[in-house]
Amino acid sequence: MKLTKIVSPIAAIATAFSLLGGLGVSASAETYTYAARSSVESRDWSRYTTSTATAKLSENERELYNRLDELCMDYLTSSKNADRTESGDYYTDTIRIDDLGFNDKDAFEVLSWFKHNNPQYYFIENGAEFRTYTYTYSSTRTTTLEMAVSFQDFAINGAKRTQITNAMFDKLDEWIDECSSENGSLQKIRAINRKICESIKYDPRVRAGDDSYAGGKNQSMYSVLMTDETVCAGYELTFVAMANALGIDTLAAYSNNHGWNVVRFNDGKYYYVDVTWNDTDNGYPGYVEDFIGIGKNTAAKVDADQPTRDSHTLKFNAERWLPTISAIDYKEPEEIDDLFKAPKNLRMIDSRIMWDAVYGVQEYEVQGAYNPQFDDPERYVASANQTSVEINIPYGADTVWIRVRAIRMGEASDWTTLVVNPKNMQFPLGDVDGSGKTNAADATKILKHLVGAMALTSDELDRADVDGNGRMTAADATAILKMLVQMA
All structural domains of the chain, each given as residue ranges with its CATH number in brackets, are 2-321 (no CATH), 347-424 (2.60.40.10), 440-487 (no CATH)
* pLDDT for 149: 96
pTM for the whole structure? 0.65
Residue stretches of the chain with pLDDT short of 70: 1-36, 282-285, 316, 333-340, 349-350, 360, 393-397, 409, 422-428, 435-436, 486-488
Pairing of β 201-202 and β 229-230: parallel
Q: Name 411's bridge partners.
A: 408
Distance CA 51, CA 374 (A): 36
Q: What is the pLDDT of residues 301-314, one digit of tens each?
A: 989 888 777 889 88
* pLDDT for 210: 79
Q: What is the pLDDT of residues 215-243, one digit of tens each?
A: 788 889 999 999 989 999 999 999 999 99
Q: Name 147's bridge partners.
A: 95, 130
Number of Cβ atoms within 10 Å of the Cβ of 324: 9
Cα–Cα separations (whole angstroms), residue 359 to 271, 287, 411: 16, 29, 14
Number of Cβ atoms within 10 Å of the Cβ of 142: 9
